[in-house]
Amino acid sequence: MTDTATLPTTPTNTTTTANAATDSQVLSILSLISALSGILFGLVFPLSIVAIVLGILALSREPRGRTMAIWGIVVGAVPGALAVIGIVFAAAFLIPFGVFAAAFGGF
C-alpha cells in the first residue's frame, strides 16, 4: 500500500510577515519601563534620556504601542525637566550665598 497524498502548500504572504514585525511593542514597553525605573531608582537623567529616545523610536515604528510610547516619553520627560529646574533653582539661590560668604570671610 503506497501513500500518494501530498501535503498542501501554503502560499507565502509577505504582508503578514511585515505586519508581524510592526505588531511588536518592545520599544514602547522598554520606554515606559525605563521611565518608571528612572523614577523608582533615582537615575533620572540617564533613564529619562533612554525613555525619551525609545519612545520616539516606538512612535515611528510601532503603531500599536503608541499609547505606551507617549506615556514613556511623558513619564521620562517630566522628572528630567523637574531635575533641570531644581538644579537651576539651586544654582540661582546657592551660588550668590557662596559668593557672599567668600567675599565676607566665609565660615
Q: What is the pLDDT along the chain (107 residues), one digit of tens a residue?
A: 565 666 666 655 555 555 555 578 999 999 999 999 988 888 888 889 999 999 999 999 999 999 999 999 999 999 888 888 988 888 888 777 776 666 666 55
pLDDT of residue 2: 61
Q: What's this model's pTM, rounded to 2 decimal places? A: 0.65
Q: Residue 8's Cα: distance from chain center in Å?
A: 45
pLDDT of residue 34: 93
Q: Residue 70's Cα: distance from chain center in Å?
A: 9
pLDDT of residue 36: 92
C-alpha triplet 84, 86, 87: angle, nearest 5°: 65
